[in-house]
Amino acid sequence: MSDRTPAGQFFDAAITLLQRVRDEEAEPVRAAGALLADTVVAGGRLFAFGAGHSSLAAQDLVYRAGGLALMNLLTVPGVVGVDVRPATLGSALERVDGLASAVLDTSPLRSGDALVIVSLSGRNALPVEMAMNARALGIRVIGVTSVAYASETTSRHVSGTYLKDHCDIVLDSKIAIGDAELTLDTIPAPFAPASTVVTTALLQAVMATAAATLADRGVEPPLLRSGNVDGGHEWNGRVMTEYGDRIFYGH
């Protein structure tokens, strides 16, 4: 029997979206995992970026138990997260032309690295410019976005393009415009966003693929273990020492 409570409806909506990305994005997920594995084998470094709530999925990849130790967070002051005051400043910074260039020019990113860029709408200047400039520098770009926005909104970048137009691989989260899954006659606005659930799952699927791809090639994936299991800190210390030149959050 179907659960028609708001909670039940949200779970159903999230599960449906997860099933869609599992089935419809299988090839991009495989390709993205292979790209990350290729980068690791070639001595490159891995980075992830997202603005506002899109940063949550990016942060979930960094210094993560069960995740690749080589994934670093590319930070933009006032943009990564919602701790900036006022919170609306973060939204405003996403629309500033030139900010991505300044960030990339002063970041450790270099040719041969890989950058995951998460942006639900993919329409703001910051993620578009970030992808454009990164690729111009020889950095491989994986974009995670809702492709639907490109057909139903207007780009905020001077080029008129979207994040999806400047990526080596695009992962489509299938999230509907507005990122709210539920409506009720008694509530004047749609509610219950699912983008974080779906985007995080997509990226963890990519990371799992990367780890398995490395193992298939005879390379031990540089995985972190939980610090809350016996031996976890010692394990992580070994990994971070071995790959210290490719890890930027440990110092």
Confidence (pTM): 0.94
pLDDT computed for residue 79 by the predictor:
84
Query: How confident is the model at residue 2, as a pLDDT?
Result: 67
Q: Please report the pLDDT score of residue 90 as a whole number.
A: 80
Predicted local confidence at residue 88, as pLDDT = 83
pLDDT digit string (tens) for the chain, length 251 residues: 567 899 999 999 999 999 999 999 999 999 999 999 999 999 999 999 998 899 999 999 999 999 999 999 998 888 877 777 888 888 888 887 888 899 999 999 999 999 999 999 999 999 999 999 999 999 999 999 999 998 889 999 889 899 999 999 999 999 999 999 999 999 999 999 999 999 999 999 999 999 999 999 999 999 999 999 999 999 999 999 999 999 999 76
What pLDDT was estimated at residue 1?
57
Residue 234, CB-side half-sphere exposure with 13 Å CA sphere: 3
